[in-house]
Amino acid sequence: MKASLWIGCLALTASAVCLPARAAEQPAPPLERLVNQAVADYTAKLQDATRELQATRDRIAAEKKPLLDRIRELEDRAVALEAQVSTQEARQAENEDKRQRLLKDGALLAKNTAYQNTLAMDALKNAASGLLPGEVEPLGTAIATLQQRIESERNSGGAGAAEISRFLLERVNQQLGGYSVEGKALVAGKNVMVPGRFVYLGPEVFFGSSDQTVFGTVRTREGSTYSMTYDVPGWDRSRAAGLFAKAEGTAALDASGGKALRLQETEGTVWQHIKRGGVVAFLIIGVGLLALGIALHKLWELRQLRLDSPLEVKGVLEEFFSANPEQARAAVSRLTGSTAGLFAAGLRCLGKPKDVLEEQLYAYTLQQRLHFERRLPLLAVIATAAPLMGLLGTVMGMVKTFALITVFGTGNAAKLSSGISEVLVTTELGLAVAIPALVAHGFLSHRIQKKLSLLEQYAVEFLAAASEARKEESEVGSHQA
């Protein structure tokens, strides 16, 4: 309506504006006529606008209902879709929870499987390292196959672990019941490979040759893949043969688990012990034998150095210078050993000047000292040099040990045993030679020095008695004159 009024006003204004111009051209119509015409135009236009507005309203009304129906349909569909989305989101969240739980369960299962496989692998390695002598050949292939299988399926399943468990259980049952297998073994001391049969009774292993000449317990030597058979003293061979032939007999069990046998094997003989020391050990033994020979010889010489007691010598001296020469020789003959030699030397120079007699007695005692003290310095040198030779062997053994460590590393002690043995054996032998040599040298030096000092004492007493006798003779001669 407002639009129609605005249109009418505009029409009247236009008519009023245009009226003067037309009046100039034509005579001015009456005002009423103009107003009627304007009203007629306005009414016509208003009717047209009204009809157009009504048509528009009818068209809008006709189109509004389908649109509202479509909107309601779409709203219902949106609500349904929202419900479906909510359902799907809830289902997706539930599925995600299930997936997370399954992932956790799968990770836990994989962890448990890996742990079981690790335990199975460790058990298999322990079983492989603890194989008894003679079991490597029959069981080594099976263990290697199981190791490859468990490595291939370490994180994929537990079938390999179950197979290892069955294998180990069967082996335990077999060990508890005892069993025997064919094989070959080395004979200790002969290093001869002989065929025969291994009999397993728990941790103990026995071997019997096919010709029934070799029966004994079996041990594996470190660093060797072959089994070594050791003879068991006191094991009846007839019953031992039955154990291998009929699985019935007497077995020689070692309560120490083989430690006593290994200890006995490490002891060896004296010759083997010396050989461990190498060349230096033989040199020390040679020097020790030389020292032993010198000590025995000096002991024998010490027995030859016989001296009479001081009382006997005193009595002889009193009789010697108070009698004639024949009686003096008879008195000297009662003496023994070096004492008799000393008095005989003095008797030969008895009528000579004092200086000559003194020199003769000194020469005799010096001769005895040189004779009985000879080779004693060599014994002292041996007592000093033997530890140094042992030290030399120690250094050589250490050099050898370091060379072996460079080649083999420190993991294998058996490879280092030769160098370590050389280090210890040479030191031991050096001290074993030096200590007795030092004791022998001290004992012999003391005994010889003691007897030679006593001999020198007898020489001084002889010289003093001779001087006293000459003094008495000179006094008697002066009285007679």
Nearest-Å Rg of the Cα atoms of the chain is 66
What tens digit of pLDDT does each residue of 172-193 get? Answer: 777 776 777 777 877 776 777 7
For residues 160 and 146, the answer to whether their CB atoms sit within 8 Å is yes
pLDDT, average across residues 141-151 = 77
What tens digit of pLDDT does each residue of 377-394 get? Answer: 898 999 999 989 888 888
Query: Hey, what amino acid is at 390?
Result: G
Q: How many CA atoms lie within 13 A of 465 on its CB side?
A: 20
Alpha carbon distance 24, 355 (integer Å)? 204
Alpha carbon distance 12, 8 (integer Å)? 6
Query: Hey, what amino acid is at 451?
Result: K
pLDDT band at 267 (very low <50, low <70, confident <90, very high): low
Q: Three-state SS for 182?
A: strand
Confirm whether pTM is higher than 0.85.
no
CA 411 vs CA 95, 405, 416: distances in Å: 56, 9, 10
What tens digit of pLDDT does each residue of 211-222 get? Answer: 777 777 777 766
CB burial of residue 425 (10 Å; 0-12, 13-18, 19+): buried
Closest CA to 202 of 227, 225, 179: 179
Given a cut of 90, whether residue 289 has pLDDT beyond it is yes
Strands 179-187, 227-231: pairing is: parallel
Which of residues 480 and 215 earns the better pLDDT score? 215
